[in-house]
Chain A
Amino acid sequence: MAKLIIKDLYVSVKGTSILRGLNFEMDEGETVALLGPNGHGKSTLIATIMGDPKYSVDGGSITFDGQDVLAMSPDKRSQLGLFLGMQYPAEIPGLNSADFYKAAMNSHREKPMALFQFYRELEKAYKEVGIPFEMNSRNLNEGFSGGEKKRNEILQMRLLKPRIAMLDEIDSGLDVDAINVVSDVINEEHARGAGILVISHYARLLDLVKPTRAAIIINGRIVVSGGPEIIKRVDTEGYEWIKTELGIEVAKEINPAMNQVSIGVCATREAVKNEK
């Protein structure tokens, strides 16, 4: 079984250091919850694993299945079996969703798929994530609602069959029914043998995907890791106990800029308010 191994990782964004000597390991086939207060490095970690060019790696290593992940471009990381379901998937004007999925699936295999087989798999995946098949002819994520974008990420995970699927707040913007649907698909991916690394602020998704392990990132490092009881504790007590029990001062938010994204008029207004 392949292992994802992160050693002494230092990452910064626009000169602000976020990850400060982070160590983490997980197996293909394992389900792990990544916890921690906002702005402490959860999203930074998984975006760095995927190769997001916004983040600079200042030190350390990431390997998967013995291969040097940091030396690879994002497409090679995907082909190696890593997948990131993003919190804010990009909207790509003019790019037909189905054309893109076909190109993506073909990039994971030696010979291009037969069109018939592609459409059969596509139709099945649309059904599983609960969005109308007709959406395959729409431009990728363009004009999709928040929930549709999230389901669309899960759809791509299903199509690409990753070895490690990292899911960044994939449940935000989803209603209860949608969370049930999405967690079913995640659980099927896990049953197929994929490792799942999940970030979520809501107990509901974690109740459904049942991680067997949890790790908490504080101040850019993993400070606590253990069994699922940690999830329950964070859900009821927050992160205060880390300070009292472990003597770790929890910085207010080491990376506030990362949470100021504009996803629409309301978010832009929020961002403007925060700047004042």
Chain B
Amino acid sequence: MSIIDQRAADLVDEFGMFDDWMDRYQYVIDLGKELEPIDESFRSDDYRIHGCQSQVWLQPGENESSVHFKADSDAQITKGLIAILLRVVNDAPAMEVASTDLAFLDQLELKEHLSPTRKNGLDAMIKQIRLYAGAMAARSAQ
């Protein structure tokens, strides 16, 4: 099992403890509160992913052949979802991140938030993460 799949399975287990949506969303919000803060210099238009409903700032980073992102949002639920995504992809091999389909979000019953029509910036953030990871993997393969 890949690192990403293992982490996703852990999250699915964690979310399995909740039997109603309020507890599930409360947990998402709480995870957002523990998100590693981005460096202030990245809280700028250059690193902003413009959503119609909420906004996301994404700070890319890397460690040898692994990616390490920091991110933030002005909306708490969006921020919680960022925390979940980053918990899965951070410090995983760039190659794996570039090709993940993040299907586990379906099992968390949170996938609706990643729809591009939701306009909360998350869909674009995932695209951006995959692009960074893909570029990184290509560089390290050279």
Partners in one complex: no
